[in-house]
Amino acid sequence: MGPLVVNEFISPDTNLFLAFLIGIGFGFVLESSGFSSSRKLAGMFYGYDTTVLKVFFTAAITALVGMLFFSLFGWVDLDLIYINPTFLHSAIVGGVIMGVGFIMGGFCPGTAFCAISIGKLDALAFIGGLFLGIVIFTEGYPLFEELYKAEFIGAPTMNEILDIPRGVFALGLILVAFGMFWVGEWAEKKFPREEY
């Protein structure tokens, strides 16, 4: 049955309309969880507010387990789900640069759109920066092309790399996530901060 658009249950234009609705859900959840506040997001890196960790990992394991059940029930064909390709070098260098941007700017692109929708002007500056950074990349592309395309290893999944069943890796990830939630709760008690 799923994914609906790949199996032509819905048309590409319907898919775009549903993208808009999915986006509404995405923005609503981000804002309601507090991701429209840069001080709340940055709190993760100082231990005073680990909302990011809790929401991020709960979301990842919810979607992961959901996909496993959908696949088990025959509702979705996992082979048709897009898996982002792995280019080892650019994944690492890009991730490190994004990490610097995160601690300096206090947002990531999705949360910045969420924050600007309720009037945060620092998010507007961040989005201006995003445009600038992307233009620097696209204009300077010949300089970065080699790094961008280096060490392509296909689109492997973690369980394939470790050669274990998908469900076993998922279980391990859930246990790791629960361990991190415990650390997060501990850190918030140890590094308390007044409301902001």
24 binds another protein (CB under 8 A): yes
**Comparison of 32 and 175: residue with beta carbon closer to another protein:** 32
**Residue 74 gets which letter from DSSP?**
T
Restricting to residues 99-118, which ones interact with another protein according to CB under 8 A? Answer: 99-118
Question: What is the 3-state secondary structure of 2-43?
Answer: ECCCCCCCCCHHHHHHHHHHHHHHHHHHHHHCCCCCHHHHHH
**Comparison of 28 and 186: residue with beta carbon closer to another protein:** 28
Q: Which residues partner with 87 through β-bridges? A: 152
- Give Cβ neighbours of residue 120 (< 8 Å, ≥ 6 apart): 36, 37, 38
150 binds another protein (CB under 8 A): no
Query: Among 8, 73, 74, 121, which residue sits at the site for another protein (rule: CB under 8 A)?
Result: 121
38 binds another protein (CB under 8 A): yes
CB of 122 to another protein, least distance (A): 4
37 binds another protein (CB under 8 A): yes
